[in-house]
Amino acid sequence: MILDDFSLAGQVALVTGAGRGLGQGYAIGLAEAGADVALLDRSSCDETAAQIRDLGKRAVCIQADLSQTTPAQADKLVGSVVAELGQLDILVNNAGIIRRQPAVDHSQENWKDVLAINLDAVFYLSQAAGRVMLPRGHGKIINVASMLSYQGGILVPSYTAAKHAVAGITKALANEWAAQGVNVNAIAPGYMATDNTAPIRADAAREASISDRIPAARWGKAADLAGTVVFLASAASDYVHGAIIPVDGGWLTR
């Protein structure tokens, strides 16, 4: 039955930035589909973990700051998931930060901080997950891209650079790993009502200009992404490799 292909029963996922917002939504969606979930965040994941355990699934909280991630540290983080939950089948590289500053003034600190979390950690964790998944001939890596994987944005040159690069890394890893049973794809959320977009939503003129362009006539929410992450994590997407799937209320069609 086709619905069986979407089941994640018996699988283990690692979601970064899982303490709140979109990461929390991804983690809960995966648990609802049957996965046990390791939750990585620099702050508490207790709320997310409680909701997952209420679904009858295992949840493990891993507190870590990805801003200084090295390949060795990524291997250690992935190893801790395997030690706690027995395996790793799914990685969702969701953690990210954004720094708004005009390009002419964009500081080296802002540039380095954004790329460290939004790009370096994504690659190093994908490498570490690949070392676990490739020998088994099975795995799903889901990166979180953005509308700014396609567009330039305003006041966010470091974020735009990172998200363009995430799209490229997704395709590069898919080219190398598809034949070995590991799927690497990405979700590109549109304008979502999260803490990251709070400054934009607080600017009445900017908020209105964005809302007026979205064919769905509303900002997205975490629940809008759950179906896509479950699809990409499941057997239903076994022939999907290197895709960047927009979940944007139709933003890119305008």
Sheet with 36-41, side-by-side order of all strands: 59-63, 36-41, 12-16, 90-93, 139-144, 182-189, 244-247
**Domain at 2-247, CATH homologous superfamily:** NAD(P)-binding Rossmann-like Domain (3.40.50.720)
Alpha carbon 195 to chain centroid distance?
A: 16
Residues labelled catalytic: 159
Adjacent-strand bridge partners of 141: 91, 184
Query: Is the per-residue pLDDT at 196 higher than 90?
Result: no
Query: What is the average per-residue pLDDT within 226-239?
Result: 98
| Amino acid letter for position 160 | T
Mean pLDDT of 48-72: 97
In this prediction, residue 194 has a pLDDT band, given cuts at 50, 70 and 90, of: confident
Q: Which is nearest to 185 in space by CA: 236, 143, 133, 233?
A: 143
Position of tokens 């200009």? 209
**Token pair of 125, please?**
């964790």
Q: Is the pTM of this model over 0.85?
A: yes
pLDDT digits (tens, 9 = 90+) for 112-141: 999 999 999 999 999 999 999 999 999 999
Cα–Cα distance, 39 to 16 (Å, whole number): 6
Q: Where do the structural domains in the chain lie, given as residue ranges? A: 2-247
pLDDT tens string 2-51: 999 999 999 999 999 999 999 999 999 999 999 999 999 999 999 999 99
Cα separation of 45 and 19, whole Å? 4
